[in-house]
Structure 1
Amino acid sequence: MSASATRTALLAVLLATGAAAAAPDGTPAAAPQADQEPAPKLTQAQQLVFANDLMQKVPAGSVPEYRFTRHGKDLPDYQDRVIVTVTRVADDGKRDLQFDFLSGGHHLDFQPATAYRGNPVPIQFLERDIKELAAATEGASGYFRNRLRAAFAKAQSEPVKIPLGGQEVPGVRITLKPFAGDPNSARFKDYADKGYEFLFSEQVPGGLYQISTRVPSAGSDAPLIEEQLTFHHRNPDTPIAH
């Protein structure tokens, strides 16, 4: 499957307003009616995460790197990295990308993308997150995917300042709690209050500065699980965009 087809498929799964919901255990809901209204315009959160063009200022040969950390109650601290390599930039601005997403037993095999415009790391992070949720709760990945999809349609966005290269640059913060108020949350109560935060800036190579998730722990200030993926490195000859 080509990168454009893959991206279209991901967007269809993650954003399609007509998709039927399912229970956390995977029990399907009623199928949607064939006569659907047109999909609404994407929100800023949906645009930045799923339909972005954030790699447009990243030249061929660049290797944006992100540092991943995880810690939490009764969990060993874990640090790793995610590396994106821009192998080619076509005349139309589309890019060929390769990925090295975490390492060792945590490694996820994301195939190279060809003729791609955006930064797929947010989608890759969410796909990993969905799999982790499903495994931890013995639930259906499709259910968590649907809840995340719906949450991005209502996510809060606000301007912020982001630290980068010894200075503060303008950015956007997106926050959401996709499972708040979920009538099925008793089936995954430890994760019902899980929060997500995304930080984007056009002045960060690749546009993505940070993704954070936090699962609070009942009766403790220490989180049950906290994960963070933060932009760490750019090629020396790739300046901060202005």
Structure 2
Amino acid sequence: MHRFANPGRFLRLADAVLPWCAGLTAIALAVGLAAALFVAPADYQQGESVRIMYVHVPAAWMALFAYTCIAVASAAALIWRHPVADLAARSASPLGAAFTFLALATGSLWGKPMWGTWWVWDARLTSVLVLFFLYLGHMAISNAFEDPGRGRKAAAILALVGFVNVPIIKFSVDWWNTLHQPASVTRIGVPTIHPSMLWPLLLMGVGFTLFFFTVLLLRMKSELLAARLRNLRMLSVEGR
């Protein structure tokens, strides 16, 4: 891990990984969307509206995964003062917020025909909404101080404190009586979803994950290059 605290070494790694990650992202999403729209059958109860699942569920998975990545990177930044880990946490935050918003929006669109309402203050829905606000808070607080170091430290602490919401989201449907259905893919034993629907869903999950890493690397690379450019400008000004 400490080897990649060097920005130059990280940039070389990103340059090597990005083309593969971007190519696999395009393939996984293209095949996954085609399978979700044209291969997977309609649900016997929900009809064609079940196809929202192929976007909603991977977006919800990524909302939790991105925040977990932010919490791990924030811990590394606080404990070892790892500069690239701190950059990864700040770069992942807008992506996680976007996934969370997508999960909330598609869940609302799916909930209207299934539940008869756009929104309920269900334990799962409410905890995901809290997660969205945590993302917004993380982005806001990292830029709320004149001293960038203080902002980064405050954002890292918020990420670690807010991580308690992740298991609440995961297990809320088991701990409380909620309207949201329990897990059907990650449950212990055989998933309660037919293989004809399961493999397109998992493929979309892989595509969303690869998309996250592709954009994350691009954001981190652009931030590092921008910082290097600022340093060069400062050196040129001082040289005059």
- Greater Cα radius of gyration, structure 1 or 2: 2
TM > 0.5 fold call? no
Q: TM-score range by the shorter chain?
A: under 0.3
More helix by share: 2
TM-score (norm 1): 0.26
- The higher relative CO (CA closer than 8 Å, separation ≥ 6) is in 2
TM-score, length of structure 2 as denominator length: 0.26
Q: Which has the higher strand share?
A: 1
